């Protein structure tokens, strides 16, 4: 009996040690181009969740209702990706106005020399939705009322909410913004992640049909009339378009483009990552879209104050929105509306696209503000 207990104990210890090994943080030593000093960086390995694969074909119909709730959650922040820093750019970082396809490793790594902010949750009253609504907010680690900070509003994908980005460690948002600020490229920046489903009916839920998508298109009103005034009154923020940034992923990318075209005077720096279809009429594998505007209307108004930076990007292997972001780029170009378009080689509808888009937005901000 005693022998058995000892054997069991040894087996348990071996199993526990093996489990620890697979989760052990990987230590890497890199040189930061900015300081020339050696920095030890820890890349946590937090990959979890399932991968969904969908065919990337234009017009085939698909019953979205058949997808499980686990599959649906992957729309909001993207298909789960391994925390694969090897896919990141390891070349030396030099600030320029060039696009880097991948976020450099020094900016997405969790570094011991940097203090990162943590997401917290708060609420505001939305007159648009006639109810209290939630948002997640990432304040800099040493946030102080004595300083003022620019703000990035970051919009989630379909079926998401204000926790979609804050709940996914693999998007590296706090690392990218924290590292770029710590290295002196950008100012310390507040990131606000709202719930983009702006409905006054608590029973209404998102789905792949035009009626169910209207609250996403209504978010422009909630953002401009309710959330932005709330953030500007509650936190110590810099205001005005130079200090107000907008970015979004997928459904959030679609609304980012829509809001930017409608209110370009409000946002100086914008990035739409893997933007979903439906700004203009179309039919994809999920639904037939009425469109928010005609193709000829997809442009900035004549004489409008334009964003300093307006990026549209997408992975070359996006299995959810396919080539729709490229079509937006082509339409805007045909309609004479300036923007930066780039493709992220090998990225799917996933965090590789999100990391690349956010990094390049901040890189463009850094370059533009030091000009
Ligand atoms: C669609 C394809 C993709 C669509 C929305 C999405 C509303 C959004 C995907 C995401 O947010 O991840 O046809 O229609």
Residues 6+ apart with CB under 8 A from 120: 136, 137, 139
Q: Using a 6 Å cutoff on CB, does residue 284 contact ligand 1? A: yes
How high is the pLDDT of residue 9?
Answer: 53
Q: Nearest CA to 128 among 217, 219, 203?
A: 219
How high is the pLDDT of residue 7?
Answer: 53
How high is the pLDDT of residue 83?
Answer: 66
Q: Nearest CA to 88 among 188, 14, 171?
A: 171
Give the mutation target among 250, 256, 289 for probing the ligand 1 site: most ligand atoms within 8 A of CB: 250
Q: Using a 6 Å cutoff on CB, does residue 185 contact ligand 1? A: no
Q: Using a 6 Å cutoff on CB, does residue 320 contact ligand 1? A: yes
Q: Using a 6 Å cutoff on CB, does residue 222 contact ligand 1? A: no
Q: Whose Cα sits closest to atom 3 in ligand 1?
A: 276
Q: Which atom of ligand 1 has the smallest separation from the CA of 284?
A: 13
128-131's contacts with Cβ under 8 Å and 24+ in sequence apart are 128/198, 128/200, 128/218, 128/221, 128/222, 128/225, 128/226, 129/198, 129/199, 129/200, 129/222, 129/226, 130/200, 131/200, 131/202
Q: Label residues 139-166 b or e (16+ Cβ within 10 Å = b).
A: bbeebeeeeebbbbbbbbbbbbbbbbbb
Q: Using a 6 Å cutoff on CB, does residue 251 contact ligand 1? A: yes
Expressed in angstroms and rounded, the spacing between residue 57 Cα and the centre of ligand 1 is: 14
Distances (CA, A) of 163 to 69, 121, 196, 248, 288: 16, 9, 11, 14, 28
Q: Label residues 276-286 b or e (16+ Cβ within 10 Å = b).
A: bbbbbebebbb
Query: For 245, what's the count of Cα atoms within 13 Å in the CB-facing half-sphere?
Result: 30
CB atoms under 10 Å from CB of 294, counted, come to: 9
Q: Whose Cα sits closest to atom 14 in ligand 1?
A: 208
Given a contact cutoff of 8 angstroms between Cβ atoms, the answer to whether 128 and 47 are in contact is: no
Q: CA–CA separation, 288 vs 283, rounded Å?
A: 4
Residue with tokens 């391994």: 82
Expressed in angstroms and rounded, the spacing between residue 329 Cα and the centre of ligand 1 is: 17
Query: For 312, what's the count of Cα atoms within 13 Å in the CB-facing half-sphere?
Result: 24
Domains of the chain, first to last: 91-370 (3.40.50.1820)
Mean pLDDT of residues grouped by 10 in the chain (371 residues)? 51 46 34 36 33 31 49 76 68 91 96 98 98 98 98 98 98 98 98 98 98 98 99 98 98 99 98 98 98 98 98 98 98 98 97 98 97 84
Give the mutation target among 57, 276, 319, 353 for probing the ligand 1 site: most ligand atoms within 8 A of CB: 276
How high is the pLDDT of residue 82?
Answer: 67
Q: Using a 6 Å cutoff on CB, does residue 366 contact ligand 1? A: no
Q: CA–CA separation, 276 vs 271, rounded Å?
A: 13
């Amino acid at each position: 009996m005693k022998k058995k207990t000892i054997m069991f104990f040894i087996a348990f210890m071996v199993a526990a040690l093996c489990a620890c090994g697979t989760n052990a943080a990987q230590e890497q030593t890199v040189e930061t181009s900015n300081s020339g000093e050696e920095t030890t960086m820890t890349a946590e390995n937090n990959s979890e969740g399932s991968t969904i694969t969908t065919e990337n074909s234009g017009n085939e119909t698909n019953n979205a209702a058949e997808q499980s709730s686990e599959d649906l959650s992957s729309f909001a922040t993207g298909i789960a990706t391994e925390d694969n820093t090897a896919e990141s750019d390891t070349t030396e970082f030099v600030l320029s106005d060039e696009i880097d396809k991948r976020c450099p490793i020094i900016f997405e790594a969790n570094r011991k020399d940097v203090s990162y902010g943590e997401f917290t949750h708060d609420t505001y009253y939305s007159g648009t939705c006639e109810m209290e609504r939630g948002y997640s907010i990432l304040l800099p680690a040493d946030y102080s009322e004595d300083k003022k900070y620019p703000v990035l509003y970051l919009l989630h994908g379909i079926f998401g909410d204000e926790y979609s980005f804050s709940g996914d460690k693999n998007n590296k948002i706090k690392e990218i913004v924290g590292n770029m600020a710590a290295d002196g490229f950008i100012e310390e920046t507040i990131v606000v992640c709202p719930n983009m489903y702006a409905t006054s009916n608590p029973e209404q839920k998102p789905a792949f049909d035009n009626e169910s998508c209207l609250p996403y298109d209504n978010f422009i009103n909630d953002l401009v009339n309710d959330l932005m005034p709330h953030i500007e009154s509650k936190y110590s923020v810099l205001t005005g378009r130079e200090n107000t940034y907008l970015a979004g992923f997928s459904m959030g990318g679609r609304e980012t483009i829509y809001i930017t075209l409608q209110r370009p005077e409000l946002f100086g720096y914008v990035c739409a990552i893997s933007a979903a279809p439906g700004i203009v009429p179309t039919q994809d594998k999920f639904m037939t879209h009425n469109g928010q505007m005609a193709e000829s209307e997809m442009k900035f108004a004549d004489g409008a104050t334009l964003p300093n930076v307006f990026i549209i990007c997408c992975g070359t292997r996006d299995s959810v929105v396919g080539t729709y972001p490229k079509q937006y780029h082509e339409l805007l170009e045909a309609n004479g509306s300036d923007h930066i378009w780039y493709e992220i080689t090998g990225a799917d509808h996933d965090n590789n696209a999100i990391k690349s888009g956010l990094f390049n937005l901040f890189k463009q901000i850094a370059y533009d503000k030091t000009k």
